[in-house]
Amino acid sequence: MTTTSSPTPQPTASHRAPAPTFAVISGAQVRQALHRREKQVVELVEATYRLHGSGDSVNPPSYFLRFPDRPADRIIALPASLGGPAPVDGLKWISSFPANVPSGLPRASAVLILNDHDTGYPFACLESSIVSATRTAASAALAADRLSHGRSRPTRVGFFGTGLIARYIHTFLAGTGWAFERVGVHDVSPDSAAGFRGYLEQSGATGQVTVHESPEELIRSSDLVVFATVASQPHVTDPDWFTHNPLVLHVSLRDLAPQILLRSANFVDDVEHCLKADTSPHLAEQLTGNRDFLNGTLDDVMSGRVSPPTDRPVVFSPFGLGVLDLAVGKYVYDEIALAGHLHLIDHFFHELRRYG
């Protein structure tokens, strides 16, 4: 059983390269490999951001497959290549179908393909909705930590949107040492808000849990605000709701009107990726004709090139980089391989001899 994607030697008359293997990794295996690994995954995501910031990655623009007859639905392809000590290439293929939710299915579904760095052969296909939620939550937890330096550490968190991503972000905040005096919850669906409150209470979350009917009430009562919605255009428009200068994890990217960003300090994961596809930062660029409202990237903050101010709201808007999916997916693959639990598909690659 092959458990790593080691470099493949060049074949000679007496030495033929070993046949590539291909593994399928289920969501249950992914979940088990990542369970209670919040600190390790956040460290992995931080290392990946640093590799990306140093130029040791390739992260092309994402490709959006949209449907004229289903404008709310989309499938996104995120190709990427990651260098460093464990180089890997690959592609995440993730769909977002909001109408799934009323029928009882999650909105998002995904697979991740990992390709060998040396041969290009794909060596694994992973169920990736968990990988995607994990890297998103780890990125948010890392940003909350680094962007709160120099200011009072938030003690009141508010979740605007209460789906899978919100649950993972809360799990990663708790798993990396955050404790809150109060936890606020708001969702356009009362059932979703109630379900998230039930999750918080059952998980043993610290702090008093309050469900807010008003978005303004949630924001004004929180010094850390997490946006995790499926909004396609800005729906929070009043900058005065943010005069208490909270730290905002704008994970869903399209909740905030440009006017709010223009009165805030703004950080992104990658400038070129974030300022497109009508995200809130993209709309702010279109409104002003420049990018002067951006203060820097998360890597700038981690490297000490930029310090977040304390006299304005601080907004982190992460587009979500494919290299993060690769890093987390390769971590999962290696953990499962080390345990000897890879499910290899026999003879997946068949035509391996040029002349039969």
pLDDT score of 251 more than 80: yes
The DSSP annotation for 145-158 comes to HHHTTTSPPP-EEE
Of the candidate CATH numbers 3.40.630.30, 3.30.1780.10, 3.20.20.100, 3.40.920.10, the domain formed by 23-131+322-338 belongs to 3.30.1780.10
Tell me, rounded to whole angstroms, the distance of Cα 189 from its chain centroid. 23
**Mean pLDDT confidence for 261-269:** 98
- The distance in angstroms from the start CA to the end CA of the chain is 25
| Alpha helix positions (H), the chain | 27-34, 38-53, 129-147, 164-175, 190-202, 215-220, 258-261, 271-274, 280-288, 298-302, 322-338
The reported pLDDT for the residue numbered 177 is: 95
Higher pLDDT, 354 or 64: 64
What is residue 16's predicted lDDT score, i.e. its pLDDT? 65
Looking at residue 352, what is its pLDDT? 86
Higher pLDDT, 192 or 205: 192
pLDDT digits (tens, 9 = 90+) for 134-189: 999 999 999 999 999 988 999 999 999 999 999 999 999 999 999 999 999 999 99
The one-letter amino acid code at 264 reads S
The mean per-residue pLDDT over the stretch 62-83 comes to 95
Backbone angles phi, psi at 151, to 5 degrees: -130, 170
Which amino acid makes up residue 240? D
pLDDT digits (tens, 9 = 90+) for 314-348: 999 999 999 999 999 999 999 999 999 999 999 99
| CA trace torsion 138, 212, 229, 252 (10° rounding) | -50
Is there a common fold for 23-131+322-338 and 137-317?
Answer: no
How big, in percent rounded to 5, are the helix, strand and coil portions of the chain?
Answer: 35, 25, 40
Domain boundaries, the chain: 23-131+322-338, 137-317
Interval 28-51: pLDDT, tens: 999 999 999 999 999 999 999 999
Q: What pLDDT is attached to residue 255?
A: 98
State how far the Cα of 214 lies from the Cα of 193, in Å rounded to an integer: 12
User: Do residues 245 and 310 make contact, with C-beta atoms less than 8 angstroms apart?
Assistant: yes
Per-residue pLDDT band at 26 (split at 50, 70, 90): very high
Confidence of residue 355 (pLDDT cuts 50, 70, 90): confident
pLDDT of residue 171: 97
CA dist., res. 74 & res. 67, Å (int):
7
Provide the angle, in degrees to the nearest 10, between the axes of the packed helices 164-175 and 129-147: 50
Share of the chain above pLDDT 90, in %: 87
Percent of the chain with pLDDT over 70: 95
Please tell me the distance from the alpha carbon of residue 122 to that of residue 321, in angstroms, as a whole number: 20
Instruction: Quote the mean pLDDT of the chain.
Output: 94
- Sheet of 156-160, strand order: 208-211, 182-186, 156-160, 224-227, 247-250, 314-317, 265-268, 294-297
What is the mean predicted confidence (pLDDT) over 84-100?
95
Query: Is the confidence at residue 13, as pLDDT, over 60?
Result: no
pLDDT value for 15: 60
User: Which pLDDT score is estimated for 309?
Assistant: 96
Average confidence (pLDDT) over 229-242: 96
Distance (Å, whole) CA 309 – CA 207: 27
pLDDT at 6 over 60: no
pLDDT digits (tens, 9 = 90+) for 297-309: 999 999 999 999 9
Establish how many alpha carbons lie within 13 A of residue 302's alpha carbon, considering only the half-sphere containing its beta carbon: 21
Q: What pLDDT sits at residue 1?
A: 43
Evaluate if residue 5 carries a pLDDT over 60: no
Q: How far apart are CA 237 and CA 343, in angstroms?
A: 49
In CATH, 137-317 is 3.90.1200.10? no
Q: Is 303 exposed, middle or buried (0-12, 13-18, 19+ CB in 10 A)?
A: middle
Identify the band that residue 265 occupies on the pLDDT scale cut at 50, 70 and 90.
very high
Choose among 69, 39, 242, 68: nearest CA to 141.
39
What's the rounded Cα separation, in Å, for the pair 188 and 236? 13
